[in-house]
Amino acid sequence: MAQLKSMSACLPSNFGFHGPKRESNLYHDQGKLSFQELGARKSELQGNSFAVLSTNGGVTRAQKQVIRAALPSYSETEVAGSTKERGLRGKLNKVVLAYSGGLDTSVIVPWLRENYGCEVVCFTADVGQGIKELDGLEQKAKASGACQLVVKDLKEEFVKDFIFPCLRAGAIYERKYLLGTSMARPVIAKAMVDVAKAVGADAVAHGCTGKGNDQVRFELTFFALDPKLNVVAPWREWDITGREDAIEYAKKHNVPVPVTKKSIYSRDGNLWHLSHEGDILEDPENEPKKDMFMLTADPEDAPNEPEYVDIGIISGIPVSVNGQELSPASLLTKLNEIGGRHGIGRIDMVENRLVGMKSRGVYETPGGTILFAAARELESLTLDRETMQVKDSLALKYAELVYAGRWFDPLRESMDSFMEKISETTTGSVTLKLYKGSITVTSRTSPYSLYRQDISSFESGDVYDQADAAGFIRLYGLPMRVRAMLKEGI
């Protein structure tokens, strides 16, 4: 039996998550969740048997030592099965698996070992899906046959480098979708590539089904960042067709079946949003049930008094809430709490998936909805008409690229440079009134405002002479006048 390699080969930094929508268990039957709970207990996590680190870049020698101590190696007596032999489908050395600890990814571990004769490094990322999703992962990974567990805290990177650029660009897919899952997949896949390089893996694997968008988002990121990596997608290869098959396979390979109450909905959550699909939602005629929502209060039951919130923005990027400067993840967490209380950010839509089919989803994005409203209102002061029109037209393509998993496409990166430049003067503050699911702007101010009261006033002024309008109208309307003259034979 081959001696499994040491955990010290793993060099994890931050902390993130992937679990395909169909198996996410975080929000199942837990009642309303506070976003404070999602970000809490970091210090408690650091005492657990897996590492929670925030490196924001390379891994230092000291951090490597911490990782070695925090991520123990599983000996050959702890993980059964040789990894020297060729598997049923071929031979890989080491595979980094996007791991959630649910049924599907727990089964994928022995399936990879059996079919590719490889060691499996389980990777879990924290993008704000909640602490309960992360508890006990080391034990689950070990029981499934993994040789290592790597965890990363990606919350700050997720908000700063993925969410905020989309916000600045005004990227909304098909008029409604604020791209919650679309933005999360590339940051997770990027971290997987980093881990694969650190541990010497020659392949990566995910648990996405062959019908969804996520398989594309993961794999395009893999292609862009390391085209040499092999990609394994078990749901496109194996004979397992459903939950019962997966349970049977788990029992056959002595993998403990995760004991969770199966939700009637398929959910995916992160710090930006929570999505709901499946069950009665598959019929667009059905109204969602009240007890389905988990992050936002029912607008009918929200407080009877409105709440005012002030958002500070610098160059298109949010920096403060009610005058308090916060880190990107902390700022979003705070707005999620505020917006959730008032039933803000519920979206019910039928969208066109990248793979061709339509799907119906319900999304809760309380903090994100507040931020989009604030950004739009501030731009009404700082952008001129032509700039705003061009920005809005490019925002559609930007959203389409993100939705389609093309985050690392040079086109999106070039468009992002344009958005950054055009937003240089989008600085100021916006006050919004939140009341029973609605958002109303009450104040907007900017040192770069193009609005001039002395010009816009109905009172006479020195800059704008109303008599000048007559000549402008004659020239502006000349094409219409010429066309009418042609019809009249003039």
Residues annotated as part of the active site: 104, 185, 214, 266
Tell me how far apart the alpha carbons of residues 419 and 414 are, in angstroms, rounded to a whole number.
Answer: 9
Residue from 230, 185, 186 nearest 205 by CA? 230
Residue whose C-alpha is closest to residue 252's, from 104, 101, 81, 110: 110
Burial pattern 113-133, b for ≥16 Cβ within 10 A else e, equals bbbbbbbbbbbbbbbbbbbeb
DSSP 162: I
How far apart are the two ends of the chain, measured CA to CA in Å?
A: 97
SS3 content of the chain, % helix, strand, coil (to 5): 40, 15, 40
d(CA 402, CA 230): 23
CA-to-CA separations, 28 to 132, 242, 298, 373, 445, in angstroms, rounded: 11, 19, 18, 30, 42
- CA–chain centroid gap for 350, Å, is 19
Quick one: CA dihedral 297, 302, 303, 307, positive or negative?
positive
* Separation of alpha carbons 466 and 461, rounded Å: 9
Among residues 250, 246, 193, which one has the least CA distance to residue 224? 193
Burial class (CB in 10 A: 0-12, 13-18, 19+), 43: exposed
Residue 444, token pair as written in the block: 């907007």
Instruction: State whether residue 462 is helix, strand or coil.
Output: coil
Rounded to whole angstroms, how far apart are CA atoms 446 and 459?
23
Identify the helix (H) or strand (E) that includes residue 155. Answer: helix 155-158
Supply 36's token pair. Answer: 């404070």
The dihedral through the CA atoms of 457, 463, 469, 474 has a sign that is negative
Structure tokens at 431: 């006050």
